[in-house]
């Protein structure tokens, strides 16, 4: 009989401001544990919110072996720790920087009503087992989320921006506010050739999830039968990556306790689909290669998932990728989501025109349509090496107006 334990702890301090004043302060402290006992190809699991004595946790997990959850796999081993914490602010320190940022908004943009949340989050994940595994991952960041509305606007809200920093810099907040609010009242024209500049996580995540080995095997994926085919742009590479340089509140090991070579799995390389992804259970069930990752499951056995998706960055900046053309920053929009053919449409209620150096102005409402194959295929421009506008990685691609 073997034993393993997973723990997750997260502490948050949240300051919420509205109309330039502090409205609330709250603290959240979460702790979860999962004790697991493995015997004769089965696993007993005891999931607990809050701390529990190990003796009790393992005893209850052993009792749950009667549920006969199959897990006929050897446990992993290894020791490694990652600590990405750079600066952990006390509540007093976080409030001080938050109030300074709000003062800047009040003085610089008095025509806007802004609801802003400053959240300091500290995270600690750990997995141990009695074969000697001891993996740990820690992180801390300040997250800012801001909703804004112009005094003359009839909308409930006009726009939104957010960003995260491990070491908070007020200059970044001011730049974000200037980008989104500074040219709001200036009307610009929608360009004939529309280039979107967006955070890529949702679109890249959708594409990556189409490579779930279970969905591929069942024939329910958009990419079933497409492994090895070149369907996307020559310079488009999609990967799951959890290395020390790119980590952001995620562990380097997966739900099965596996660590990938170089902490990454390349799913699509230079436009060619290389592989689907499968956890141990899925690989065995469908007779496909085990690639990982598996999502972390505290109350049951893991399955395929837990992706941390990235698109390979260009060596060019956003400005260089644009080549003198402007791009559109969608700020407030609704999306139809992707249908079974990978098609999607978006109504852009509010957006900004960006020339590669500065915001030109706001754009009127318009609608676009595209599909996942074009976004990362013929319409793909690239992911910039720098991080303007979003203080995050962003994707450039053409869209068609409808």
C-alpha–C-alpha distance, residues 387 and 129, integer Å: 40
Q: CB neighbours of 91 closer than 8 A, spacing ≥ 6?
A: 13, 25, 27, 120
**pLDDT tens digits along 280-323:** 999 999 999 999 999 999 999 999 999 999 999 999 999 999 99
Produce one character per residue of 263-295: b if its CB has 16 or more CB atoms within 10 Å, e if not: bebbbbbebbbbbbbbbbbbbeeeebebbbbbe
Tell me the average pLDDT across 50-79.
97
Joined tokens for residue 224:
């079933």
Tell me the average pLDDT across 374-398.
97
Q: Give me the percent of the chain exceeding a pLDDT of 90.
A: 99
DSSP, residue by residue, 242-304: --TTT-SS--SS-TTS---GGGEEEEEETTEE---BB-HHHHHHHT----B-B---SSS---B
| pLDDT over 90 at 51, yes or no | yes
| pLDDT over 90 at 2, yes or no | yes
**pLDDT tens digits along 320-373:** 999 999 999 999 999 999 999 999 999 999 999 999 999 999 999 999 999 999
Which pTM was predicted?
A: 0.95
Q: Give me the percent of the chain exceeding a pLDDT of 70.
A: 100
Q: Could you tell me the domains of the chain?
A: 2-181 (3.30.2290.10), 194-201+314-401 (no CATH), 224-308 (no CATH)
- What are the DSSP E strand ranges found in 72-131? 79-83, 112-129
**On the CB side of 383, how many CA atoms lie within 13 Å of its CA?**
19
Tell me the average pLDDT across 12-37.
97
Q: CB neighbours of 221 closer than 8 A, spacing ≥ 6?
A: 210, 211, 212, 215
- Residue 26's H or E segment, with its range, is strand 21-39
| pLDDT over 90 at 155, yes or no | no
Tell me the average pLDDT across 1-16.
98
- Residue 141's H or E segment, with its range, is strand 134-150
Mean pLDDT of the chain: 97
Tell me the average pLDDT across 100-122.
98
Joined tokens for residue 134:
């001891």
Q: CB neighbours of 12 closer than 8 A, spacing ≥ 6?
A: 26, 27, 28, 29, 119, 120, 121, 122
**pLDDT tens digits along 207-240:** 999 999 999 999 999 999 999 999 999 999 999 9
Where does the pLDDT of residue 12 fall: very low under 50, low under 70, confident under 90, or very high at 90 and above?
very high
| pLDDT over 90 at 92, yes or no | yes
Task: Give the pLDDT confidence score for residue 173 in this predicted structure.
Answer: 98
| 132 secondary structure, DSSP code | S
Produce one character per residue of 28-38: b if its CB has 16 or more CB atoms within 10 Å, e if not: eeeebbbbbbb
């Amino acid at each position: 009989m073997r034993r393993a334990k997973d723990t997750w702890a997260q502490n948050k301090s949240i300051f919420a401001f509205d109309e330039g004043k502090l409205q609330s302060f709250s603290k959240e402290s979460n702790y979860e544990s999962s004790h697991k006992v493995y015997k004769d190809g089965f696993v007993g699991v005891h999931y607990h919110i809050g701390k529990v004595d190990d003796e009790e946790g393992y005893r209850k997990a052993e009792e749950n072996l009667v549920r006969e959850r199959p897990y006929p796999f050897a446990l992993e081993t290894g020791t490694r720790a990652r600590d990405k914490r750079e600066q952990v602010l006390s509540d007093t320190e976080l409030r001080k920087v938050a109030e300074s940022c709000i003062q800047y908004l009040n003085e610089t943009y008095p025509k806007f009503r802004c609801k802003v949340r400053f959240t300091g989050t500290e995270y600690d994940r750990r997995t141990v087992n009695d074969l000697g595994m001891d993996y740990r991952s820690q992180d801390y960041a300040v997250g800012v989320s801001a909703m804004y509305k112009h005094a003359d606007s009839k909308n409930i809200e006009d726009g939104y921006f957010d960003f995260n920093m491990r070491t908070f810099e007020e200059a970044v907040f001011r730049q974000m506010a200037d980008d989104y609010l500074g040219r709001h009242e200036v009307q610009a024209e929608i360009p004939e050739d529309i280039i979107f500049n967006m955070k890529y996580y949702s679109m890249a995540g959708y594409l990556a999830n189409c490579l779930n080995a279970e969905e591929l095997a069942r024939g329910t994926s958009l990419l079933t039968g497409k492994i090895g085919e070149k369907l996307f742009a020559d310079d488009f590479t999609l990967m799951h990556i959890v290395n020390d340089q790119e980590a952001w509140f995620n562990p380097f090991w997966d739900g099965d306790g596996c660590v990938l070579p170089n902490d990454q799995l390349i799913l699509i390389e230079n436009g060619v689909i290389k592989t689907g992804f499968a956890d141990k259970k899925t690989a065995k069930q469908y007779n496909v290669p085990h690639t990982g990752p598996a999502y972390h499951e505290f109350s049951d056995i893991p399955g395929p998932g837990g992706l941390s998706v990235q698109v390979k960055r260009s060596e060019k900046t956003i400005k260089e990728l644009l080549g003198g053309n402007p791009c559109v920053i969608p700020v407030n929009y609704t999306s139809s989501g992707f249908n079974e053919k990978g098609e999607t449409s978006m109504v852009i209620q509010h957006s900004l025109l960006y020339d590669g150096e500065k915001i030109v102005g706001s754009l009127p409402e318009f609608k676009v349509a595209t599909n996942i194959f074009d976004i990362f295929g013929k319409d793909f421009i690239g992911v910039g090496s720098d991080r303007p506008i979003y203080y995050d990685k962003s994707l450039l691609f053409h869209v068609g107006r409808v």
